[in-house]
Amino acid sequence: MACGFRRSIAYQLSRLLDLPPENLIKSISAVPISRKEEVADFQLSVDSLLGNNNDHSRPDIQVQATRLAEKLKCDTVVSEISTGQGTVNFKINRELLTKTVLQQVIKDGSKYGLNSELFSGLPQKKIVVEFSSPNVAKKFHVGHLRSTIIGNFIANLKEALGHQVTRINYLGDWGMQFGLLGTGFQLFGYEEKLQSNPLQHLFERLGVHFDEYSGESFYREKSQEVLKLLDSKGLLQKTIKGTAIVNLSGNGDPSSICTVMRSDGTSLYATRDLAAAIDRMDKYNFDTMIYVTDKGQKKHFQQVFQMLQIMGYDWAERCQHVPFGVVQGMKTRRGEVTFLEDVLNEIRSRMLQNMASIKTTKEVENPQETAERVGLAALIIQDFKGVLLSDYQFSWDRIFQSRGDTGVFLQYTHARLHSLEETFGCGYLNDFNTACLQEPQSVSILQHLLRFDEVLYRSSQDLQPRHIVSYLLTLSHLAGMAHKTLHIKDSPPEVAGARLHLFRAVRSVLANGMKLLGITPLQVFLCCQIQHAPHHNGKSIC
């Protein structure tokens, strides 16, 4: 992608360097925008061409960059070639940039950035994602929230890239508490209530769905088969306490010993995970299986994957654990939060209170739903802004800030841009004149839109949503600054039409990114909820 510009540059470089264009594609990157100075559109890292060889000093790399730039020529696509710190920089013909980017965004719609050459040649895979996994004998604990929203993001991203994804919620339905719950229902309860899904309404509120619900109890018998297989391979060792272990180090290192059977012969968590993994391979023949749990289970999954390997399952290397840190300080007004439902209700309550406190707030059809969607966006963005593995301090005040890098800001920006289309779209969204979009604010937005495929690619490689979050927040800030100067109302029709196309492209890409993160974009929001610069005639456009 990058609208074919990256490939065009790669073809010119390939003729000069005698390398296949495909080998050069990922060395050519869109340049991040700068508020301080005008930047090129693409840059080639000379260091990456040299294979990151440490024998090459910085002066050598700079000389190589200069020599390469001197041999390259401008054409109908590239209007200017220069050098930077170890890079060759390319500036795209401005009117071609404008026309191509905006047409590509509208043409590709929800697929913009996903049809990129960065993803070409990557095989479509069968992917299993296990996430959420609450204990059904208890109310949905808030500790499972991160697993739920992170797993949902990973599944969304993989599906968007064309993979066949199976979402599994592996319920904790084992142990004393579940046994007591089941006995209670047998004696006093109603079977239809036990069979109903008490968690479904919470997942619906989160906008999350699953393809399969299974539980540890499903693998009661299969875990016994696993124990027999371990024993037959000489991997099972009995202890003096009657338990069974697998020594993964071979030298008796206590940290490498995994207990797989209690003294009474019943299975443990690791045994049931082994059985579940084997069953899923038989059922789905997956290319990748991803487990989304907190970082406290890192050792557990290392041992499970290692046991699968020594049991002879070479597909164990296709299993991956995505760990995350702990959320600290999540409290409601009533005190410490324990349950997810408390968090969701608190989010909705606080947003409704904010909405009610603003006298000039525009009425929305469903304030409860609007409040919840904005609140969820705020929660997700705060969670996804940092590295997933890191712990973070939760702050109600911070997530609902009307200014700054928050989910509230993203929702507001999307609704504001949608309002522009609703207000002015009918007469202007036919064609546009590229010459009307050459202001610095327009060019910065176009350059940022170019980078979307790289951001998606990066997130697809490390499964970190923060890259997309950062990109969307920057896009929203750019849109806000452009809206202050690139007026539509009272502008000549040709200018207004071009600007409306630009803002529509921003809204489309913003919506795409939000959906990947698990956020439902709002079309109507509280135009006065965010303190923003007024329209040039002193009135809000909302």
Active site residues: 138, 141, 144
Paired tokens of 436: 């009307």
Place of tokens 């393809």: 211
How does DSSP assign 243-271, residue by residue?
A: -EEEESSSS--GGGEEEEE-TTS-B-HHH
Task: Tell me the CB-side half-sphere exposure of residue 104, using CA atoms within 13 A.
Answer: 21
Residue 419's nearest CA partner among 542, 537, 501 is 542
d(CA 438, CA 482) in angstroms, rounded, equals: 12
d(CA 528, CA 542) in angstroms, rounded, equals: 9
The secondary structure element, H or E, covering residue 204 is helix 200-206
Q: How far does CA 276 lie from the centroid of its chain? A: 26
d(CA 317, CA 334) in angstroms, rounded, equals: 46
The residue type found at 303 is: Q
Residue 321's nearest CA partner among 536, 104, 147 is 147
How does DSSP assign 263-316, residue by residue?
A: TTS-B-HHHHHHHHHHHHHHHH--SEEEEEEEGGGHHHHHHHHHHHHHTT-GGG
Residue 302's nearest CA partner among 288, 289, 316 is 316
- State the burial class of residue 212 (Cβ atoms within 10 Å of its Cβ: 0-12, 13-18, 19+): middle
Distance (Å) of CA 98 to CA 45, 65, 185:
25, 28, 65
d(CA 341, CA 134) in angstroms, rounded, equals: 13
